[in-house]
Structures are given as structure tokens and as C-alpha cells.
Amino acid sequence: MARLIVIGNGMAAHRLVDALTRADTAGTWQATVIGEEPRPAYDRVALSSYFDGAAETDLALPDLSGRAHIRTGERATAIDRAAKTVTTSTGAVLGYDTLVLATGSTPFIPPVPGADLPGCHPYRTIDDLDAITASARTATTGAVIGGGLLGLEAANALRLLGLDTHVVELAPHLMPAQIDQGAAALLARMVADLGVTAHTGTATTAVRPGADGRAAALDLDGTTLPAQVVVFSAGIRPRDDLARAAGLEPGPRGGIAVDDTCRTPDPAVYAIGECASHRGTVYGLLAPANAMADTVADRLLGGTATFTGADTSTKLKLLGVDVASFGDAHGRTEGALDVVVNDAASRRYAKLVVSDDATTLLGGVLVGDASGYAALRPLVGRKLPGDPLALISPAGTDTAGPAALPDDAQICSCNAVTKGELCAAIAGGAADVPALKAATCAGTSCGSCVPMLKTLLRDAGVEQSTALCEHFAHSRAELMEIVRATGTTAFSELIARHGTGRGCDVCKPAVASILASLGNGHILTGEQAALQDTNDHFLANLQRNGTYSVVPRIPGGEITPERLITIGEVARDFGLYTKITGGQRIDLLGARVEQLPAIWARLVDAGFESGHAYGKALRTVKSCVGTTWCRYGVQDSVTMAIDLELRYRGLRAPHKIKAAVSGCARECAEARSKDVGVIATDKGWNLYVGGNGGFTPRHARLLAADLDDATLIRYIDRFLMFYIRTADRLQRTAAWLESLDGGLDHLRAVVVDDALGIAADLEADMAAHVAGYRDEWRGVLEDPDKLARFVSFSNAPQAPDPTISFTTVRDQPVPTAPVHLGMPAAASRT
């Protein structure tokens, strides 16, 4: 087995090892990664989200420890090319057959007096961010030296830390490498509205110390700007010192010189990412680093891949402003023409750079509205499908799509996925966006190409039908709006007016859920009872042997001794199997249908109510003990969990909903694996949405940070109601969020910014639910007609099912009967 050593544990190194070990089915290579940071590889592109509430674990890239030996907290100190060894800071000497340098870059710190004062920081690693956060605790004003991509991200970080924030840029305008002066003028206005002041065309001549010896102010061309926190983001320098010491040739502007295979003059040594100089260029973006890593992985396995340059296009949201740049954005090509739409009133700037005959797209810039980026970027270097001005008019990008592109056009620049590869995946059975992502990796990095993936699916004729079933041409979301608008209260009325036939096992439960979500009374009242599936029909979960489970609600997992005793007595008296679930509740299993009302009566008399373990509804809000008991807690997570569970109990939805509240960042309630996750901070609560376990686990994503109690509840109200209105049948929040046009950004616009103007309506719907909540178990007990449903045999109401039998295991009853053929599997009840 050949020995591979990778020096560096950043994103390029991770991509290389991942690509190599996935493809190396023969086990040709044994990989060792040496990384000086004390943590595994993480997503530096998303580093700024750390200030927006993301935890270190949120940034972590997929674990490769099972496929490679990862040596964290260890620095490579020397390379002996003759002996083919690497010496590390621990004194270890490691032999290699092939060496890959992925040492990345270091921030450029301008040589100004005072740049090394306490309070001055680079912006490169998680440790840097922690140091900036610590400095900000005693500061009021912060300044960023550098107004490029990373500089504006750093400015947003200081703003989120509560500092009066300034950006100092030597060039005449912001983001000089990516956008032109017209775009930058709009960007500066939009940034200023967010409280960040830009000082362009301005040089920093010194950092002045205060009385405590820490940074206190900047000297700017004769003026003074107070700044107790100074962040340097003035560019990067490739880390090539280790390679230079080993005698490897540097590029003309630094970096490790490599050829089109990413190999150095030493045939056993490669270099990738920001430390590599390819044809005299050092790339500082993710897409080129990924392309280099893929090239080396292919070469190590005997392939012929080459790296001949990379797309430096980028689309970002900086300080909440959409900015995109692609191709020759500055019009440096001889004879290039600019086509510009500069709508200051609508805060939208769009420029296309075209050839001198206006037929070929060379590049472009978009600020304020970058929705056209996905359609325009793949057209760079190709004939335009129409008038360039029409392409950047408000609705113009509809005319620029994948149909106009040849198969070799890149749709996903981050992962170098072409239209041809996507079409092949579709032909191979990928019938939706998640399947395309899994098959090609397209859309898994920045996500800007996802709209194009949807268009490709539609153009291929495999776009998923939105019809609920053969009886309704409408989607679930459309039926929800029809029911809301018409006041329909019965399935028969809805299908008569808006469907065909008599319905089926798909549309009946879906419509039943819609009616229940809109507060249409008890689900076993009248016609609604016939629409329910087995679990909802009996308000309990059917088990493998034909018995049912009973799960009383225990908000926040908090329970009095008296109620705990009642549960024990009920379990004992009815001979039930008891189990504490993962959702901090107690499951009582083995109840026969005719026993359910008697069990509920005992529980209801003790103050319990239905936990809705059987329904597509809120299941539970899990919590840790928070500040009540825990020495690490920063908020009262128990009270918040109880408040949320009592607020949303009984809320019917397209799928089950789980939630959790953690009292600190240690996350003992596992909130980020839930549909709604709440994590306490020193300033309030961070709200995460769209997580779930199951066959395809998902981490929830940060929707909003540092919220007070009232705002948190308001945002959850809006989120849940928006999900209930628009999700597809049986669609979990994770899948819904992934399929949502605009994804998390659109959801945040709706929930936080009220971009659709429906927030008050969503809140009113939730208020109606809260006011109209009634316990479903009690509803059955108080109604003789409903009670009559709970019999094993209609001709012998009190006779138990003779096929049900039990044996004893660990002092508890468990089923002995075989699984009945055709019996539905037990539903999740945690």
C-alpha cells in the first residue's frame, strides 16, 4: 500500500482525501493528514456564520478519520525530499511515497506601526474569531482594514458583536477585485444602511494604543478613527515557506509552482489550494481548490485529469446584500462593451460585459438582486441567446437557461459539474434536486446553481408533479389555500368542488390533516373520523401485535412524583410495557383497543393529556435542565420548552414535528437534530429549523440569532404556519426547506423580514390554534358516540382479541404473537 502524506487540513486537503478514498476501491493508498489546528477540517467559506450563532460543530466538514489518519494539533516542520520524509512538531518522522502540500495561506498584515497591539487580529481561523469575540467584549468600535470579500464578512462579524463598525479600503471602492465602481457605489449605500461606514481611497498609517496598551484608534491619512478592535483583511499570502526550505521552486508571485497536473518539479510532490501557483496565479477561492484536489486524486489513481485554470466567479451575501461577479467582470478584454442597468431606487445593479459585436458574454456583475447569476454564469464565453439588455431586465433571465448551453458548460462551478453530467444523472434516474445533489455533488457548496438544477429536471420532462393524487390536480399547499379561502369543512365538499372520484388513502389523510390544521374540531367528529389513518382513528400508535401504545404529554420532561406514580399504577393495572422514550416521555405499550378509554380516563384524571404520538403533529419539545440546575446553563430552557410545548400541542402538520431547547451551547437537548431547535446564548436564543433524524438525518440550520423570548416565539409561530401552509404531503421540514425556492434565505425573508407581508396572518392562524386547542383524549371520553368506536369486535364489544398474547422479558410484558402479514409497522413515538 502506497503512503500518502497531506500537509494541511483545510478544505482543499479534505476534498483530496475524500475524493481519493471514495474512488480508491482497491485500497491502493494509505493517507495521513497533518494539520496544525487542534480541530478537524472545517468550512472556512462559512466562517462568518460563527458570529451568527453557528457552533464549531456546524462548520465541521464530514469526518474522514475512518478513511485516513488525521493528526490534528501537529505542524509539519521539515521535508526531506531525498529521504521522502516529513518531520513534525512532535518530533515524528513520517515516510511518504507521495506528498501533497495543502498548506493554504496566511493573512497579509500591512506593515503599519501598532499592527501587533492587543486588539489587532487577523480573520482566518476559528481561533482568530474567538480572539476577536474576546476583544469585542470591552470595545465599542471596530474597524476592518480591507474592503474585499473577506473584509466585508469581517465587518458583518463586528456588527453582529455589537460594535460601531468601519471598513477602511485603500482602493477607490469596495470589493475592487470583483466589482466595478457603479456596483460598489450601490453596495456602499446598502452597507451604510446597515450601520457599517466605508472609508474608501483611504490608507491606514498607524494603529494607536490607548492607556492600557491595547489598540484604541487608527490614523487614516491625517484623521483619527476610534477603534478598540482592528481586524486585518487586506489579502492573503501563500504559505510556501516549508516548500521553499525543501528547495521547491516558488511561483513568480509566491506560492509553490505546479504544472497542469498540480505536480511540482519533484515528481513525488504535489501542491493544491491557496499555497499553489499555477501558471503564475495563486487562487484564493474554493472552486479552484476543489478542482486541484480532484485533479491530484485522479492522478494518484492513474487518471489523466489536468487543471488548466478555474472559474473565479462568486456569489455571496455580504452584510445581507447579494453580490455576484463572473467572468471578465471589469471588461479587460479588448473591444469589450458594457451593458448596464443601474436602478438606484430599486437598489439593483446589473452589468454584462459582452464582445464588441454584443453576441458573446464575457462576464458580469450583479448587486442587490443576484437571482440571475445561476443562469448567466454558465453563458460566459458563449453566444448569447438574445439581447443582452433583456437578459438583465427584471424578468430577463428566464430567456437564459440550460437549454441554450452545450453539454460541456459548467452548471456548478464549485464542484465543476457540467450540464452533460447532470443530464446523464437525470437519465440514470435522478428525478429531483436531492437526487441530483447526491449523484453529482452539484448544488452542495454555495447552492447558487440549484435553480438551474430544477430547470434541467423540468426540461428533461421529469419535473415532479405537484398533484396530490389522481383525485386532486392540486398540490397540498394549493388545497390548503383553497380550504382556507372557501371555508370548506368536509372532505366530501372539497372533492366534489375541486377533485374527482371518491378519494383514496393518499388524499383522505392529507385533507384530514389540512382540516385539522385549520381548527375544524375534533378529528373523530362526523365525516372527519372516516378520513383518519389507523393511528389517528384510535388516537394511539398501532404496534406489531395489534395492540396500541399510549403516550401522555409530559412538557419539557418535567413531571411531579404524583403523576409519575399514576403512570406506574396505570401500567401495572393494565399490564402494559413501559419505556422512557428519547423525547423525555413515558411510553405505555400493549393496550388493547377496548382498554384505551379506561387508560385515558385514569391519566386525564391525573392531569395528563394526549401526547399526540400517533399524529402528524407536534410530538415533544425536549429540554435539558438549563439554569434551573446546570452550572453551564445561560437560559431557563425548561420553562421555554414547556411554554413551547403547551403552545404548539395538537398542532396538525404535513408531518410530525419535533423540537428541543438547550440551555447552552453544549446542546444536551440535541436541538439541532429537530424540526425546531432552540439554543440559549448569553443574549437570548438562537433559532434553528429544518433538522430531523430518520433515514436521512439533517442538521437544523440557523434562522435567527440572539432572540428575546417574545421574538423567538413569534418567529416559531411564523415558521410553523408557513411550513403547514406550503409543505407537500408527508414532507418533513428538512425536505421542505431543501426544496423551497431560495432555501434558507427565502425562509428568513418570510419569517424574519416579512418579505411576503403575511407575518400577521401566520401569527393570527397560530393564535387561533392556541385558543382553540382541546385535548383529544378528553374529547373522546366526553362523547358516547366517539367512545363507541373503541371495541375489538363490533358484535362482542368487551371481548379481547384472542390473537394477542404476551410473554415476560426483564419483568415486563412483550408480544409473543408473530407479526401479522400486511400489518402496518409501528410508528415513531418519541
Cell of 149: 470579500
Neighbours of 386 (CB within 10 A): 11
Strands 676-681 and 361-367: unpaired
Place of cell 370548506: 488
Give SS3 for 623: strand
Cα 145 vs. chain centroid, distance in angstroms?
A: 30
Q: Is 664 annotated as a binding residue?
A: yes
> Cβ distance 311 to 292 under 8 Å?
no
CA distance 7 to 280: 22
Strand ranges inside 188-227, DSSP E: 196-200, 204-209, 215-220, 223-226
Helix axes 433-440, 450-459, angle to 10 degrees: 110
Q: Is 630 annotated as a binding residue?
A: yes
Q: Which helix (H) or strand (E) segment is 677 a member of?
A: strand 676-681
Grid coordinates belonging to 715? 418567529
Answer left, alpha or beta for residue 602, where phi above 0 means left and psi between -120 and 50 means alpha.
alpha
* Amino acid, single-letter form, for residue 255: G
- Which cell goes with 438? 447526491
- Determine the distance from the C-alpha atom of residue 445 to the mean position of all C-alpha atoms in its chain, rounded to a whole number: 11
Question: 622, 486, 574, 620: which is closest to 800 by C-alpha?
Answer: 574
DSSP-based three-state secondary structure for 107: strand
For residue 499, give the nearest of 483, 484, 522, 523 by alpha carbon: 483
CA 435 to chain centre: 17
Contact 641, 623 (CB under 8 A): yes
807 burial class (0-12, 13-18, 19+ CB within 10 angstroms)?
Answer: exposed
Q: In a 10 Å sphere around its CB, with 0-12 CB exposed, 13-18 middle and 19+ buried, how is residue 778 labelled?
A: middle
User: Residue 176, SS3?
Assistant: coil
Q: Report the amino acid identity of residue 414.
A: C
- The DSSP line for 768-819 is HHHHH---HHHHHHT-HHHHTT--S-TTSTTPPPTT--EEEETTEEEE-SPP
Report the residue count for the chain. 830
Among the listed residues 2, 10, 125, 126, the one whose alpha carbon sits nearest the alpha carbon of residue 64: 10
Find all residues with CB under 8 Å of 12, minimum gap 6, and list them: 102, 104, 272, 273, 274, 289, 290, 292, 293
Count of CB atoms within 10 A of residue 743's CB?
15
State the Cα–Cα distance between residues 705 and 712, nearest whole angstrom.
Answer: 9
The residues facing 621 across adjacent strands are 659
Give the position of cell 529521504: 83
Half-sphere exposure (CA, 13 Å, Cβ side) for 733? 33
668 is in an annotated binding site: yes
| 244 grid coordinates | 521553499
Residue 242: closest CA among 78, 19, 11: 78
Distance CA 260, CA 266 (A): 14
From residue 586, alpha-carbon distances to 317, 377, 545, 608 in Å are: 45, 55, 20, 12
Q: Strand 276-278 vs strand 204-209: parallel, antiparallel, or unpaired?
A: unpaired
624 is in an annotated binding site: yes
Question: Which residue in 537, 550, 535 sits closest to 589, CA to CA?
Answer: 550
- Residue type (1 letter), 138: T
- Between CA 309 and CA 52 the distance in angstroms is 34
Query: Which residue ranges make up the annotated binding site for siroheme?
Result: 668
Query: Which residue ranges make up the annotated binding site?
Result: 624, 630, 664, 668
Query: Which residue ranges make up the annotated binding site for [4Fe-4S] cluster?
Result: 624, 630, 664, 668
